[in-house]
Chains A and B, each alone.
Chain A
Amino acid sequence: MDNSKITIAINDQEYKVDPGQTIMQAADKCGYRIPRLCYHPKLSIEGACRVCIVQVEGIRNYVASCAYPVANGMKIYTNTRELRQARRDIVELLLDNHPLDCHTCDRDGNCELQRLAYSMGLRQRHFEGERKQYEKDLSSTSVIRDPDKCILCGRCVRMCSEIQGVHCLTQAHRGFNTVVMPAYNQPFAESVCTACGQCINVCPTASFIEKNYTQELFEKLNDPNLITVAQVAPSVRAAIGEAFGLPPGRNMEGQIVAALRHMGFNYIFDTQFSADLTIMEEASEFLERVQSKGPLPLITSCSSAWMKYMEQFYPDLIENISTAKSPMSMASAMIKTYFAEKIKADPKRILSVAFMCCTAKKYEAARPELNVRGMRATDIVITTRELAWMVKSSGIDFVNIKPEKFDEPLGLSSGAGAIFGVTGGVMEAAIRTAYELYTGETLIDIELTDIRGFKGVKEAKVMLDGQELRLAVAHGLGNAHQALEMVRADRSRFHFVEVMGCPGGCIGGGGQPYPLVNSLPLDEESLKLRAQALYGLDREKTIRRSHENPDVQRLYKEFLGRPLSEKSHELLHTHYKPHLPKGIVSPNLKVV
């Protein structure tokens, strides 16, 4: 086996390594951390920044280690005096036309460019180059673009096209004038951007950032006339610890509830409760369609970036999309009706705030289709990153705070509600309930392992009363594209398709904390750990099926009647329409 290996030397130490990898990959495994910027393991190699240069004996110029393959007998140097100088010059050039405003910048303290400059030992600035001065694009409800902070690494462009298949971004113009922008320099709000926020996740600087609503929320928390109501998405609790230096995968549910009470929220509810509600409606909708044979497959709709992607690129599948609202919008609808009635309050006085792992939820909240009785259902959406900042800014000792519990009547959830945050989770939760609603029997083996994990498109089969149901699960919009092309080619191939817009599902959402030092966004290990936190939550619960949630049962008894009732249709369902902004490519997107 060992003779398939080749021998290389790094800094005069010999190593046996596998052929067919780059110098950077080999060096990583041997314990050398070569600096890098434009490289990302999930994206194609751009080789643009040259921060990762190394010396190879016999080659006169420095080579970019992220792109250069190892060869037998190769002698590599990663840390010579000349290299250190050359690298420092490269980073210095980047900083030359970068704004000097770290301490008023959104990425202060978690910026890759800052870290890089630090590790290069740049302690003063020699040149002051010509500065870029562009206007920020503030048009989107979710994503802000600030070209002044851009160092043209191209990660966002590759993310948006290679992983998300949206192709919203390009590097337009050339040389010093190069700017990352949508086609025709359209404002974001008019572009094909789905607001998924994945460009934010991979951007090393503050060039892409979410639209921040924290100041507005702080203001409103001080308004005595408002009844402030919070809800917290499953994936927020699985990831927020990372923003406080904890390893990924710590469930911080109780700490979040406690922190929100400290911040002054009157009521704190759980989006996992409304996830159970979504399952009641969606599983019923699914069974109705199975029985009446149409239209199938049913395709889930709770991912907001996916809503926009589908309306833009798959308008022909709109009749297949579940009309059930997302858990966030269901919770908000119940807060402003059922709950308002319960506490005998004017719903107009209620401020409904959603803490989400997602930037696209800001877009969803603003969709007029989701208004309830003439009111906006979700008033403010705050991402995990923004919440972490609010907690820090409020002087709360988050890690050591005593955990507290969600409020009634929208705070109790089943294990099925928890796994909503992971790819495959909505499907798994729906099957747990659909099976029982349909057969009247309890599904014994409730863990659908075939649709867990991070394969791009997962397929599974379950038997429902002698009928075979074929399921598909896709996460990340690029994978969704693959799955939907299968549906377009053969409408009877699947009965039920789950789509989540972000890689890994909501746990990999565009609003999650920036990765730890020396880890990368979308790192599969951290995604796995976040997923485990939610699967752990599921396993700990005695109630693991949505329809067994007693508070959901009470809500139907006291208020909604039954799933798909008239009232449910009024408050818990929505509709979609083709949405073709100027300049999209439809129907057949392809990667160029």
Chain B
Amino acid sequence: MTTTQANDAIATDDQKLAQLKEFIAQTQKDEHPDSFLIAVLHKAQELYSYLPVPVMDEIAQEMAIPTAHIWGVATFYHYFNLTPPGQHVISICLGTACYVRGAAQILQTLRDELKIDMGQVTPDGLFSLQPARCLGACGLAPVVMIDDKIHGELTPKKMIQILNQYRKQAKK
């Protein structure tokens, strides 16, 4: 279960907030403004890369929707991040081709190495892990994408090597 951490520090960057408010203002013209909640949350995540609590508070105010309701929606859908993502986002492909070629093993390696589960962030904030559907690189299965770089033909050993490269880079 994910809960929000003390992420107020991220708080509300003025420019992003202005964009978000503008987006919400558009939705409020509709006959059923409440039905735009999911769209608004998507917009917020696009801007902030996750849903910080102060941002959800702003959305509550602007849309006049209770925060508990927003929280219910934000936690229901897996694609909303409630914690800031890691510096590097690892998306592991769980599409059919990758699965057949050993994605489960790669996932297990990632879990063991990073000591986190899907949707979580490593305590040092370096990596976060999320599932992906077919990344369109089936020929290279099994595949993970780190940020926007594809890594293919993975074995557990190769996976660990890749992680270590990122770790080394971060130390510099």
Contacts and interface: CB of A to CB of B under 8 A. Distances in A.
Q: Are A and B genuine complex partners?
A: yes
Interface of A: 161, 167-174, 177, 179, 181-185, 192, 582-586, 588-590, 592
A583 B53 contact: yes
Nearest to B53: A184
Interface stretch (B17-25, B59-67, B104-112, B139-147): B59-67
Given A170-B71, A171-B72, A592-B34, A183 B66 contact: yes
A583 B1 contact: no
A585 B65 contact: yes
Given A173-B1, A582-B53, A583-B60, A183 B68 contact: yes
Nearest to B71: A183
A172 to B, nearest CB: 4
11 contacts: A161-B66, A170-B68, A172-B71, A172-B75, A181-B71, A182-B71, A583-B53, A584-B67, A585-B61, A589-B66, A592-B34
B165 interface: no
A170 B69 contact: yes
A143 to B, nearest CB: 15
Residue of B60, B68, B70, B75 with most partner-chain A CB within 10 A: B68
Nearest to A175: B76
A592 B67 contact: no
Given A185-B4, A583-B60, A168 B68 contact: yes
Interface string B92-114: 00000000000000000000000
B67 A583 contact: yes
Given A173-B76, A585-B61, A590-B64, A183 B70 contact: yes
What size tier do the contact residues of chain B reach?
20 to 34
B64 A182 contact: no
Residue of B1, B64, B72 with most partner-chain A CB within 10 A: B72
A526 to B, nearest CB: 29
Interface string B70-101: 11100110000000000000000000000000
A589 B64 contact: yes
Contact of A585 (B3, B67, B72): B67
Contacts of B76: 172-174
B3 A183 contact: no
Contacts of A182: 68, 71
A509 B132 CA distance: 50
Contacts of A192: 67-68
Given A184-B4, A585-B67, 5 more contacts: A172-B75, A174-B76, A182-B71, A583-B53, A588-B64
B57 interface: yes
A167 B3 contact: no
B118 interface: no
A182 B65 CA distance: 14
A181 B72 CA distance: 9
A486 B71 CA distance: 30
Contacts of B67: 167, 183-184, 192, 583-585
Closest 7 A/B residue pairs (Cβ): A167-B66, A170-B72, A183-B67, A170-B68, A583-B67, A172-B75, A183-B71
Contacts of B72: 170-172
B126 interface: no
Contacts of B71: 170, 172, 181-185
